[in-house]
Amino acid sequence: MTSPGPRFPSPRLWLAVLGGSLLCGLLEGAQGWFQYYDVQPARFWPEALARAVPSWIFLAALFPFVYWAALRFPMDGRHWRRSLPAHLVSGTVFVLLHLGGSAWVAAVRHVTAHTWSEAMLAFVTRFLVTDYAVYGMLVGSIQVWHQWSEIRRRAAVEERLRADLAEARLAALRHQLSPHFLFNTLNSLSALALTGDRETLVRAIDALSAFLRATLEEAPGTTTRFDADLAVLDRYLEIQALRFGDRLTVERDIAPETATVQVPPLVLQPLVENAITYGIAARTGPGRVSIRARREDDRLVIVVSDSGPGFAVENGRAGDGHGVGPSAANGHGVGLANTRARLHHLFADRAGLACDNAPDGGARVTVHLPWSGSS
């Protein structure tokens, strides 16, 4: 059996039982009127109601007691031997109270008999087995309903726990991404400080402040417009432009209709950072980073490529951000691995990240997302 649950029915449930009992009493009274309409027609309708309605009202009044007994003594595989004697006692109490109350009303109304003892004898003779069966059906229905409610409650709790776990893992990935970016940026600021170029250093710090403000305002698990994520990327590229100068060229080919598509925050920055770190910084000469975004059927496809040495190939496959690739020992692919994990948690198999080498050289990272949420 599941957890005990409330000891007594909620007011809404009890009112529903009371309303159903009144309806059943009226229907039973109507049936008696149609069946015996030729017997004292002037008086039989109130007598028919007097026979039927009070019995159903007493049943509704005893429902909280039956509800308590049903949940207090579960009849499942582990407890039925202990619960069965308890239900025999509580069932007898229910039958005596129900039939005794009905007999009292019948005696007051002089229906069936003129005294309570005569009415009680008549009701016990006619309805004893029926009342035990009613008690058993009520107990069974309450226990089945409670088990069904408990299953739904547990499913809701498990779903909420899964969502909380996914949210916590996304937050952990986000916190892992921030130090990864900050260490690289602080190294760049240190290099600028060593050159003595105070103006460039101040501009870099301002750009870093604007970038951090934009990223920290985004709540984990939310989405943002693609053009807003591009604006955050601009702050990052300002920092990198101060560091690399003419060595860094950024090319963009962004389809206009992609601007309003909803994407995870910071989906672009780790891809571009990976391209700059291993495609531009690893070389002495100038380099190029290309960013393309377009719609393909019901997907947003983002491609970030660079003119660097490309991914190392192991067993005929390019590095995928999990340690296979250039400079794996130095943490290459942390941003890509985090991005892949975030996409999996948010979209499951409806999104993905793939790494390969472009035909004209250099590394290429392709991300596809569901095309949804545009406005």
Residue ranges of domains in the chain: 11-159, 196-370
Q: Which residues in the chain show pLDDT less than 50?
A: 1-3, 42, 315-332
With CA atoms as reference, report the closest residue to 44 among 97, 121, 111: 111
The SS3 assignment for 111 reads coil
The SS3 assignment for 306 reads strand
DSSP 246: G
With CA atoms as reference, report the closest residue to 220 among 346, 352, 353, 67: 346
* CA–CA distance, 174 with 221 (Å, rounded to integer): 10
The SS3 assignment for 305 reads strand
Residue 8 Ramachandran class (φ > 0 left, ψ -120 to 50 alpha, else beta): beta
pLDDT of residue 329: 31
Q: What residue spans of 11-115 are helical by DSSP H?
A: 11-35, 41-72, 80-108
With CA atoms as reference, report the closest residue to 70 among 117, 1, 2, 140: 140
pLDDT of residue 328: 33
With CA atoms as reference, report the closest residue to 291 among 328, 240, 219: 240
Q: Virtual CA dihedral for 270, 271, 274, 279, nearest 10 degrees?
A: -150
pLDDT of residue 293: 96
> Tokens 């963009």 belong to which residue?
252
Name the percent of the chain in helix, strand, coil, to the closest 5.
65, 15, 25
Q: Which residues contact 88 (CB under 8 A, 6 or more apart)?
A: none
Global pTM reads 0.50
CATH for the 196-370 domain, from 3.40.140.10, 3.30.565.10, 3.30.70.3450, 2.60.40.790:
3.30.565.10
Q: Virtual CA dihedral for 245, 248, 249, 255, nearest 10 degrees?
A: -110
